[in-house]
Homo-oligomer: A and B are copies of this chain.
């Protein structure tokens, strides 16, 4: 079962056990696993998935990650997108129907590489797929930030968005190079980025049963075993500093308070109806007829950035 990566790790006291299903390494899946035009290949992926799920069950895995490295297309000319999306959804449904399994299913978005285009493009498009096929209660997202940057977003973007949709299940704490167009899986060393990720995780009350996963490798030009230790220590320190910074930001309450004030106008009157979704355009028009033009307020980006820098 060379196609099944197994990851065990302990972090933040809690023991977290992962099983990741990467059905892409084998040439058999070159045209996709669940989205392969040949149902025989889909069947093979299903058989391997069953084995993976059985293994996960035996190991008492708490998380099962799907990364659809070949679920997409290299050219639109030969691809029936509608058919492939349905096959992928039905493939996931088979996993959901698997009896006795208790672990959290996770999908890891990635926009491209090895495919030209992957269906799990970025966080919100995966949520769109899951909602469209009624899978949103059975899956959460495992966000890998260097996939996020490949999709044209900032490092923290998909972590924030997945969390906003209540779908953030786990984080691959690695990084890419924003000036490169491929997945470098570097060890994360940017304290600013780590701070923003940890802030989001704290604000949503943690990741259990998920966690932070170093899905990272040393650079191509590394040969010393020592590098691997240094890389893990340096990256762990980076996220530890990020956690400390995030805790201080939240406990000080300055930035959270500024954000709370920024949205405070929605807390009363007809604005609660807007919050609840029961307001009408007529009410909006009446309000404006009485109150006229709003005052334009600054977003104060530079102030937020300057305060944020005090925590770095």
Q: Given A76-B156, A259-B79, A299-B31, A179–B178 Cβ distance below 8 Å?
A: yes
| Interface contacts beyond A49-B284, A50-B284, A192-B192: sample of 5 additional A-B pairs, CB < 8 Å, sorted by A | A27-B223, A27-B296, A40-B294, A41-B294, A218-B302
Asked if A303 and B30 make an inter-chain contact with CB atoms under 8 angstroms apart, the answer reads no
| Copies in the assembly, this chain | 4
A248 to B221, CA, bound (A): 27
Of B39, B46, B90, B221, the residue contacting A30 (CB under 8 A) is B221
A80 at the interface (CB under 8 A from B): yes
Chain A contact residues: helix, strand, loop or mixed: helix
A15 at the interface (CB under 8 A from B): no
> In chain A, residues 161-195, which have Cβ atoms closer than 8 Å to a Cβ of chain B?
161, 164-165, 177-182, 187, 189-192
| A127: chain B residues within 8 A (beta carbon) | 125, 128, 132
Asked if A297 and B223 make an inter-chain contact with CB atoms under 8 angstroms apart, the answer reads yes
Chain B residue at smallest Cβ distance from A308: B77
Return the 10 tightest CB-CB contacts between A and B, nearest first: A181-B181, A128-B128, A46-B284, A234-B306, A131-B131, A77-B304, A124-B125, A231-B302, A221-B299, A40-B294
